[in-house]
Amino acid sequence: MSERALPAYPPDHYFNRELSWLEFNARVLEEAADPSNPLLERLKFLAIFSSNLDEFFEIRVAGLQQQVYAGVEPQDYGADGLAPADQLAAIERRVHELVAAQYRILGTDVLPGLAAGGIERVRFAELTDTERRHVDALFRASVYPVLTPLAIDPGHPFPHVHNKSLNIALVVERKNGSQPRRHFAVVQVPAVLDRVVVVSTHGEGRVRFILLEDIIARHLRKLFGGLRVVSHTVFRVARNTDLTIQEDDAEDLLETIEESLRQRMRSDPVRLEISADADDALSSMLVQAHDLEPRDVYRVDGPIDLTALMALHRLDDFAALRDEPLVPRVSAALAQGRDVFDVIRAHDVLIHLPYESFGPVVDFIDRAADDAQVLAIKQTLYRTSGASPIISALARAAQNGKQVTALVELKARMDEQNNITWARTLEQAGVHVVYGIVGLKTHCKAALVVRREADGIRRYVHLSTGNYNPTTARSYTDLGLFTAEPDVGEDVSALFNLLTGYADGYEWRKLLVAPLGLREQIITLIEREQRNAQQGRPARIIVKMNALVEPSVIDALYRASQAGVPIDLVIRGICCLRPGLPGVSETIRVTSIVDRFLEHSRIFYFENGGDPQVLLASADWMPRNFWRRIETMFPIEDPVLQSRVVGEILQLVLADNVKARELLPDGTYRRRARAAADATVRCQAALQYVAREAAREGSEPHPPFIPIVRRPRTPLGEPAAGAERLRTPA
């Protein structure tokens, strides 16, 4: 099949990609509204909702607007058949509903709850005399020198405001004889200063804070001496940040992307946020200045850009307002102080983040950098952290004379500048830095260590579902595999040859690789389950990933469902498959888990006639992952690790009845129903407990008994009577 293969079912059998994503963000908002979550965690979810929405507008809405405003008729409306203009109209309606709900939650629940718990936002008029003196002194010493008032008149056109910068627009009045004249002006709220300003603390457990824009607003007269400030409003503009790069014409990809990043600063506006009480004159001026439509304007009843309030989450004390800190345990297999290469040579090792520590991954590269027997290190880097210990280890390895290759993906969205910095750092240290294949993003996560040993050259491999990022490793659920299995090592060597050279024609032994047939192989695996069901053999599919969009794969799942294959899809975000359609998808259950940690691992289980096959991957089932990215899917073949993935992780994920929501045929989600007699299962809490107990006992984690059903099922995913327990590989 080609990328443009037509969907096999009518448009109403598929959900729209963008609207499905909005429902995911609605589930994030549900967590902010959930009173069972601590208040600072609810504030965190409000901030995540805002951050998610920013990227959605910068990338997805921007693309739709370009199509509509340019009058370009798209060749492909998508499987759901919804035209771009109709998508924008539906997005506008839903986002306005969600943003209104977000600010209701903030204003009626979260901020009052935080104030009762000791973290109180105050307005300027509510400051005590002591606090006001402190704020005035702070303004004179640290804020006023940074501010630049910008007049708007025929000699001063509307200034360019940077993407997502916070600004104050105002109307000022100048006396001109008997007829005062009014002018517009803009002041940018400096991003170099802390937006959350603590004005006082009252012993332990009491903090009062004010926002920087409130301080500036009360001192505007000082910036416009001799003029009267008539009105003002806070506003923010989001711009199109989707980079379009002609890689074939780029002599130096790094320089081309740097130039594109500079252009991003001045790209087209896509959304305007303004304070709810902004007067019509200011609102109209801002809409006209940014050439936006009225529907692109979002009035908010509260602080604009709630991501800034994450600073409150980092305050000392207030433990009662947060989740209990997670202390990741070192994997039992690597916790005894044995040499990491001895351990991996003896058996495969699985790391489950964030319940287990990311430290062994860093130690693997760190140890290789200094090991005299290591000849070469190769690694892909898509997103990594600020002061990355992995970058330091790779640089040291090169300085130690090893052959070190780093594939740095410069096109990792929103991390382009960070990755450019790391690429230059590595090059200066002597690392051979490459940027992958023209026209493709390198999204796979792989590290290869080549080591000389007594019995010859041996390859040690780490493959992962997530990034080499110690920071996100504490908040994303991911799985990583250490192995010295020769066929996997051979495949990973071939993968790096593909990335750094022009290797072609290699026959993969263990890995499934995109864009080299991954989509087709996945469909083959689904069709095998379909045939098994038709022949009366054991058949089942369980998939856990972030998104399901590709129509040809959805169609294969529909066909498998019609053959009677029980299918569980745990899709955190976008899901374009419509479950529960009579005669089409009755055996498919779709759930989404939104909880404390971001569910990021991709796990795939195929019953395979009673000989289960378990795989992990860097890729979701989306068109871009199948055709426009280098991705890998890799098997878990060690029986102990297979049993752990299925019997521990998937069992608990499927049993979750606290944070799991089921997708209904109409596109809405509902919390999974729990009978009074049912045990309460919150999979993230249970997995944290399992990891803690394994570390205490010094053994591999082992799953508790959870009665997970294997269908037949009734429509909408309800278990049938007499259903069996999920097969755990021996």
Active site residue ranges: 443
Rg (CA), the chain: 27
Per-residue HEC secondary structure of 560-601 comes to HHHCCCCEEEEECCCECECCCCCCCCCCEEEEEECCCCEECC
Give the closest residue to 594 by CA, choosing from 1, 9, 17, 42.
Answer: 42
User: Cβ neighbours of residue 598 under 8 Å, at least 6 residues apart?
Assistant: 472, 475, 476, 477, 572
For helices 62-69 and 84-104, angle between their N-to-C axes, nearest 10 degrees: 140
Q: Is the bond into 635 cis (omega within 30 degrees of 0)?
A: no
Pairwise CA distance, residues 653 & 645, whole Å:
11
The three-state secondary structure class of 294 is helix
Pairwise CA distance, residues 431 & 381, whole Å:
13
Pairwise CA distance, residues 672 & 566, whole Å:
18
Pairwise CA distance, residues 494 & 488, whole Å:
10
Mark 534-555 as b/e (b = at least 16 C-beta within 10 Å).
eeeebbbbbbbbbbbbbbbbbb
Q: How many CB atoms are located within 10 Å of the residue 197 CB?
A: 20
Pairwise CA distance, residues 367 & 371, whole Å:
6
Give the closest residue to 568 by CA, choosing from 724, 708, 728.
Answer: 708
Pairwise CA distance, residues 707 & 169, whole Å:
59
